[in-house]
């Protein structure tokens, strides 16, 4: 079970779980009305209209757990019939919060549905409400309850790392946990922003970007030194003292002292020009130009706000967008838009409140967080983030000045981003409707799967599945299949397609037979069963797929196949669907363009995966198959003998003499190759 951070004290008592707090419900029963020795069997429901039977049943279940609910702060889980976590919430007093649910009436439709599905509850006590908030965000991200506000994109942000564990520090891109010693600068909103900045910093400060192992094995400067992107510390082209000065300048620039660094370089350039050292002056000029590129690409830069994250939320047609903008060292490091999954009955501030704790669950907070709306847990969030960071974190809603301008700018971006997404969503739904009409499908298409194979004469054969829906290409649902069938003749596309479809739908049927699949489907959740599958191939692939679907008993999934046109010209494709003669679509039909995009995406994905697998095979070595031979010993053997073939021919004595290889390892290698022969 997840626990709060170590600086939050002892782990919570394990009587419950942990998620996000619901807004106070009407008719909350005060804790004073519920003495521990005399809890009522039935709560007074007043004159309100009777609740549906399932809600009353769920309220009775909650009432049965009320006696065991802790009085103090903590988190709770509401559990469905098959063990699914429906909701995770926190409360200052768990008993008081649970009592509000036990009424069974006066709730919003969302909460009434949640109560009606509840079959049990679990509680976790914490020492403070702050600990409950942190624990709640962690559980929500782990369990993804259907009634909580959920982040849909939880990728970690990239940083720039200036290492401090090597005599010649490296500057590199970093993503993930900060387990390497050094200075981290960011976050950046995208990898593209990091790469662009790193490129300019290499030109400006000539810091190495190579790995430590590459650095240690250099005997002459690499190409980056030749094109003036590195000072060449690996081969002594620059002393460690002078290189340390470059590192110090880069650290100052990334820490916000950009003007001081540029002024210093400008002074050096002037002095070099006065001494007629024009080549050195030109190099300094180029470095100043590179720094100007970094600063000029930062967009809107604040004048008085050194470090802040700005959050703005907007809502339209039941959809929410939260725009996050990062400011560090008085510079704009980019922005990212999130589209959290949330019930349409929630307001923008409620969604933002639920979003923030999850956002910072695995990210270091800045000293200042600016919000577009007031949220219920603002003070609690500031307290929790301050305790985790070990320093003060301010959460503010600015009303005037530069900070208000930053929030307004983020709000405008959020509106425009949500508008574009809704427009794209509408266009995508029209394309799906046109595709269904073209193929004679009378139901709405929500999930379309496209399949393709890739191989070279049957080697490294790959099957690929891409998925499209109302939101466009759903890349998180893409899948690849390594062709494993031993009875498939190399190059047999029909056999490969049969194997891919058989594995895909056999697994789908198995998952649908599991107990969790009996839960009512959430209409907002992207379905796992396709409405249509499209095969990249002609009549042979089409018939192979039909046979597999009939074999598995999958009768409610439409099938279509797209064969390349005459002379393989786009626009003259031939389509195969059950019950119809092969046909073509009009050259300017939107459905034709759409299915071409689907086919091309499947082809791209299949080819890319095949190439990656083939590349891995090219670099594969027999040494990789020997247990106990890691990168260091493999490198030592190759340095000593040159090739794997030479290693296989070496005697046991020669292997034992290899630097870095002990007798036991030498015997292991010798026996491996001799058994092979």
**Would you call 184 helix, strand, or coil by DSSP?**
strand
Q: Tell me the mean pLDDT in the region 361-375.
A: 89
Same domain, 350 and 480: no
- Look at residue 335 in the predicted model and tell me its pLDDT: 84
Lowest mean pLDDT, pick from 75-89, 408-422, 548-562, 618-632: 618-632
Alpha carbons 473 and 452: distance in angstroms, whole number:
16
Same domain, 359 and 499: no
pLDDT band with cut points at 50, 70 and 90 for residue 323: very high
CA-to-CA separations, 142 to 1, 82, 87, 90, in angstroms, rounded: 10, 18, 12, 15
Q: Tell me the mean pLDDT in the region 522-526.
A: 67
User: Using N-to-C axis directions, what is the helix angle for 258-274 and 240-254, rounded to 10°?
Assistant: 140
Same domain, 589 and 456: yes
Say whether pLDDT at 251 is over 80: yes
- Look at residue 512 in the predicted model and tell me its pLDDT: 81
Say whether pLDDT at 462 is over 70: yes
What burial class does residue 194 get, using C-beta atoms within 10 Å of its C-beta: 0-12 exposed, 13-18 middle, 19+ buried? Answer: buried
Same domain, 259 and 226: yes
- Look at residue 565 in the predicted model and tell me its pLDDT: 64
CB 370 within 8 A of CB 396: yes
Higher pLDDT, 208 or 197: 208
**Would you call 185 helix, strand, or coil by DSSP?**
strand
pLDDT band with cut points at 50, 70 and 90 for residue 468: very high
Q: Tell me the mean pLDDT in the region 590-594.
A: 88
Same domain, 462 and 586: yes
Query: Is residue 553 situated within a structural domain?
Result: yes
Q: Which residue in this structure is represented by tokens 């970007």?
A: 209
**Would you call 585 helix, strand, or coil by DSSP?**
coil
Locate 137 and state its tokens: 């965000």
Residue in 28, 122, 140 with CA at minimum distance from that of residue 76: 122
**φ, ψ of residue 363 in degrees (nearest 5):** -130, 140
Query: Is residue 499 situated within a structural domain?
Result: yes
Q: Tell me the mean pLDDT in the region 389-416.
A: 91
Other C-beta atoms closer than 10 Å to the C-beta of 239 total 11
- Pick the last residue of a domain from 616, 645, 663: 616
Most confident segment among 53-57, 193-197, 214-218, 405-409: 405-409
Kindly report the length of the chain.
677
Query: Is residue 302 situated within a structural domain?
Result: no
Tens digits of per-residue pLDDT, 470-512? 888 988 899 989 887 777 777 778 888 888 999 999 999 988 8
Query: Is residue 424 situated within a structural domain?
Result: no
- Pick the last residue of a domain from 242, 266, 296: 296
Q: Tell me the mean pLDDT in the region 263-276.
A: 76
CA dihedral 385, 389, 390, 395 (to 10 degrees): -40
β-sheet bridge partners, residue 559: 533
CB 496 within 8 A of CB 544: no
Say whether pLDDT at 518 is over 70: no
Q: Report the sign of the C-alpha dihedral through residues 467, 469, 473, 476, in that order.
A: negative
CA-to-CA separations, 87 to 154, 372, 375, in angstroms, rounded: 19, 26, 20
CB 39 within 8 A of CB 96: no
Locate 256 and state its tokens: 């916000």
Same domain, 561 and 413: no
pLDDT band with cut points at 50, 70 and 90 for residue 447: very high
Residue 102 belongs to a domain with what CATH number? 3.40.1440.10
Residue 485 belongs to a domain with what CATH number? 3.30.420.340
Alpha carbons 445 and 101: distance in angstroms, whole number:
37
Residue 666 belongs to a domain with what CATH number? 1.10.150.20
- Look at residue 258 in the predicted model and tell me its pLDDT: 59
Domain total in the chain: 5
Residue in 537, 463, 457 with CA at minimum distance from that of residue 490: 457
- Look at residue 349 in the predicted model and tell me its pLDDT: 92
Say whether pLDDT at 23 is over 60: no
Same domain, 224 and 133: no
Say whether pLDDT at 156 is over 80: no
CA dihedral 457, 463, 469, 472 (to 10 degrees): -50
- Look at residue 555 in the predicted model and tell me its pLDDT: 85
Same domain, 588 and 639: no
- Look at residue 566 in the predicted model and tell me its pLDDT: 61
Higher pLDDT, 10 or 185: 185
Locate 331 and state its tokens: 């510079």
Say whether pLDDT at 603 is over 60: yes
- Look at residue 368 in the predicted model and tell me its pLDDT: 93
Residue in 411, 392, 346 with CA at minimum distance from that of residue 108: 346
CB 316 within 8 A of CB 417: no
Lowest mean pLDDT, pick from 15-24, 94-103, 242-251: 15-24
Q: Report the sign of the C-alpha dihedral through residues 453, 456, 462, 464, in that order.
A: negative
- Pick the last residue of a domain from 616, 631, 661: 616
pLDDT band with cut points at 50, 70 and 90 for residue 560: very high
Higher pLDDT, 166 or 6: 166
Higher pLDDT, 311 or 26: 311
Residue 598 is part of which domain span? 448-514+527-616
Higher pLDDT, 60 or 300: 60
CA dihedral 416, 422, 428, 430 (to 10 degrees): -120
Side-chain half-sphere CA neighbours of 538 within 13 A:
5
Same domain, 557 and 497: yes
- Look at residue 465 in the predicted model and tell me its pLDDT: 93
Query: Is residue 214 situated within a structural domain?
Result: yes
Residue in 294, 356, 383, 282 with CA at minimum distance from that of residue 331: 294
Locate 340 and state its tokens: 């959290």
- Look at residue 25 in the predicted model and tell me its pLDDT: 40
E strand or H helix that includes residue 396: strand 394-396
Those residues whose C-beta lies under 8 Å from the C-beta of residue 7, and which sit 6 or more positions away, are 387, 388, 390
Query: Is residue 433 situated within a structural domain?
Result: no
Specify the pairing of strand 13-16 against strand 85-91. Answer: unpaired
pLDDT band with cut points at 50, 70 and 90 for residue 618: low
pLDDT over 90 for what percent of the chain?
Answer: 18
Residue 403 belongs to a domain with what CATH number? 3.30.420.10
Same domain, 385 and 460: no
CB 128 within 8 A of CB 46: no
Same domain, 202 and 281: yes
Other C-beta atoms closer than 10 Å to the C-beta of 282 total 13
Residue in 22, 15, 30 with CA at minimum distance from that of residue 113: 22
> What does pLDDT average to over the chain?
80
CA-to-CA separations, 324 to 154, 283, 347, in angstroms, rounded: 13, 38, 18
- Look at residue 150 in the predicted model and tell me its pLDDT: 85
Say whether pLDDT at 24 is over 70: no
Locate 558 and state its tokens: 């439409």
Query: Is residue 630 situated within a structural domain?
Result: yes
- Look at residue 295 in the predicted model and tell me its pLDDT: 53
Tens digits of per-residue pLDDT, 78-122? 998 888 899 999 999 988 888 888 876 777 888 888 888 889 999
Those residues whose C-beta lies under 8 Å from the C-beta of residue 668, and which sit 6 or more positions away, are 626, 627, 628, 629
Locate 21 and state its tokens: 């707090």
pLDDT band with cut points at 50, 70 and 90 for residue 301: low
Query: Is residue 38 situated within a structural domain?
Result: yes
- Look at residue 620 in the predicted model and tell me its pLDDT: 65
- Look at residue 34 in the predicted model and tell me its pLDDT: 43
Same domain, 483 and 610: yes
- Look at residue 38 in the predicted model and tell me its pLDDT: 38
């Amino acid at each position: 079970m997840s626990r709060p951070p170590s600086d939050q004290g002892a782990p919570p008592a394990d009587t419950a779980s942990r998620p996000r707090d619901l807004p106070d419900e009407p008719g909350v029963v005060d804790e004073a009305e519920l003495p521990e020795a005399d809890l009522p069997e039935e709560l007074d429901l007043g004159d309100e209209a009777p609740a549906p039977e399932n809600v009353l049943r769920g309220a009775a279940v909650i009432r049965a757990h009320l006696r065991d609910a802790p009085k103090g702060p903590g988190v709770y889980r509401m559990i469905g019939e098959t063990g699914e976590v429906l909701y995770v919430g926190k409360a200052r007093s768990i008993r008081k919060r649970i009592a509000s649910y036990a009424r069974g009436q006066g709730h919003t439709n969302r909460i009434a549905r949640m109560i009606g599905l509840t079959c049990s509850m679990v509680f976790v006590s914490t020492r403070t409400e702050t600990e409950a908030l942190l624990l709640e965000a962690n559980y929500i991200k782990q369990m993804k309850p259907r009634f909580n506000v959920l982040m849909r994109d939880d990728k970690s942000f990239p940083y720039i790392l200036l290492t401090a564990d090597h005599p010649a520090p490296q500057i590199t891109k970093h993503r993930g946990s900060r387990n390497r010693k050094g200075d981290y600068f960011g976050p950046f909103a995208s990898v593209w922003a990091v790469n662009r900045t790193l490129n300019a910093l290499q030109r400006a400060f000539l810091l190495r970007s190579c790995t430590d192992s590459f650095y240690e094995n250099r005997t002459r400067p690499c190409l980056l030194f030749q094109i003036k992107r590195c000072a060449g510390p690996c081969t002594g082209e620059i002393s460690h003292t002078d290189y340390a000065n470059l590192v110090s300048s880069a650290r100052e620039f990334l820490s916000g002292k950009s003007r001081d660094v540029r002024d210093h370089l400008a002074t050096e350039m002037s002095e070099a020009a006065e001494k007629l050292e024009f080549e050195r002056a030109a190099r300094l000029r180029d470095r100043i130009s590179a720094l100007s590129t970094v600063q000029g690409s930062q967009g809107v830069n604040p004048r008085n706000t050194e470090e802040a994250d700005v959050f703005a939320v907007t809502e339209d047609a039941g959809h929410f967008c939260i725009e996050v903008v990062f400011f560090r060292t008085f510079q704009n490091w980019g922005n990212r838009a999130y589209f959290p999954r949330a019930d349409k009955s929630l307001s923008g501030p409620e969604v933002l409140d639920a979003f923030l704790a999850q956002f910072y669950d695995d990210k270091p907070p800045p000293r200042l967080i600016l919000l577009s709306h007031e949220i219920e847990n603002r003070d609690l969030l500031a307290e929790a983030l301050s305790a985790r960071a070990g320093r003060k974190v301010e959460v503010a809603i600015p009303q005037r000045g530069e900070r208000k301008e930053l929030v307004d700018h983020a709000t405008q971006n959020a509106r425009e981003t949500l508008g574009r997404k809704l427009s794209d969503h509408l266009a995508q739904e029209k394309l799906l409707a046109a595709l269904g009409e073209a193929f004679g499908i009378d139901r709405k298409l929500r999930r379309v799967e496209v399949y393709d194979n890739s191989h070279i004469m049957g080697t490294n054969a790959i099957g690929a599945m891409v998925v499209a829906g109302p939101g466009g290409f759903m890349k998180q649902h893409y899948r690849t299949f390594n062709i494993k069938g031993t009875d498939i003749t190399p190059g047999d596309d029909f056999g490969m397609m049969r194997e891919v479809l058989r594995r895909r739908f056999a697994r789908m049927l198995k998952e649908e037979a599991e107990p969790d699949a009996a839960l009512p489907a959430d209409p907002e959740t992207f379905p796992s069963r396709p409405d249509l599958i499209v095969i990249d191939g002609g009549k042979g692939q089409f018939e192979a797929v039909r046979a597999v679907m009939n074999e598995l008993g999958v009768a409610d999934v439409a099938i279509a196949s797209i064969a390349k046109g005459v002379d393989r010209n786009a626009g003259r494709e031939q389509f195969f669907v059950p019950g119809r003669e092969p046909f073509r679509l009009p050259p300017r039909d939107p459905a034709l363009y759409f299915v071409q995009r689907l086919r091309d995406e499947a082809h791209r994905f299949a080819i890319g995966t095949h190439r990656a697998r083939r590349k891995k095979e090219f670099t594969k070595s027999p040494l990789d198959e020997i247990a106990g031979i890691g990168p260091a010993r493999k490198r030592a053997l190759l340095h000593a003998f040159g090739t794997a073939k030479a290693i296989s021919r070496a005697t046991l004595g020669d292997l034992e003499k290899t630097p870095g290889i002990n007798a036991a390892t030498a015997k292991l290698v010798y026996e491996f190759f001799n058994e092979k022969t």
